[in-house]
Amino acid sequence: MKKLIIAIDGPSGVGKSTLSKRLAAELGYLNLDTGAMYRAVALAAWQRGIEADDCTALAELCREISISFERQGPAERVLLDGIDVSEAIRTPEISQLTPQFAACPEVREAMVCRQRELGRDGGIVLEGRDIGTVVFPQAEVKFFLKASAAERGRRRFLELQDKGVVVDLEQTIAEVRARDEADSSRADSPLRQAEDALVIDTTTLSIDEVLGEMLKAVARGV
């Protein structure tokens, strides 16, 4: 059977990362968390003191750094220059900084190029915000996941609490809305739904329920 390119898009907190991993595991495909790539760039830039509007320096940074993914049993690690940054790229600070660095055209061009190289032969599940519209508009199967900002903020709040991070629920929801605005209003590759994507509202659905819908869609090839 032909190996498919599967695109999963949507705003933060809809379950893209978890569902991408689960779907890839079910199909025996490679999972590529494109959002983690932009987070890694943001972390590297922050560590080096590079400003978000210095696209010349960011372009050079993207040429210098190495971003890779490694699976250890069910867990996946994100490596920046060989160092595990899986937790470091998920802090509230980096979450807030990432849209600023991702808005730089040179950063997006570099990351999209890497993503296309990794997925060109199919057999891959990619999740992000512009996979079905920019990175792989030719993807055979496209999903667009959505959920209310309040629910997504609540999920993020609980996730951070579980990690021992002291956070405020209302502030977390406000940060989710701010991230939505930044992602949707940027000039280069804004967050938007592909016309041929299957839309799934995850607000009231469990991960297993959403995964079931996705597997049915893959089986239909839509």
* Tens digits of residue pLDDT in 163-197: 888 889 999 999 999 988 888 887 777 888 999 99
Q: Identify the three-state secondary structure at position 71.
A: strand
Alpha helices in 12-134 (DSSP H): 16-27, 34-48, 55-64, 92-102, 105-119
CA distances from 220 to 9, 37, 119, 140, 154 (A): 19, 30, 21, 11, 33
* Tens digits of residue pLDDT in 116-148: 988 888 999 999 888 999 999 999 999 999 999
The answer to whether the CB of 4 falls within 8 A of the CB of 191 is no
Domains of the chain (ranges, CATH numbers)? 5-212 (3.40.50.300)
Q: pTM (2 decimals)? A: 0.78
Residue 81's region, left for phi above 0, alpha for psi from -120 to 50, else beta, is left
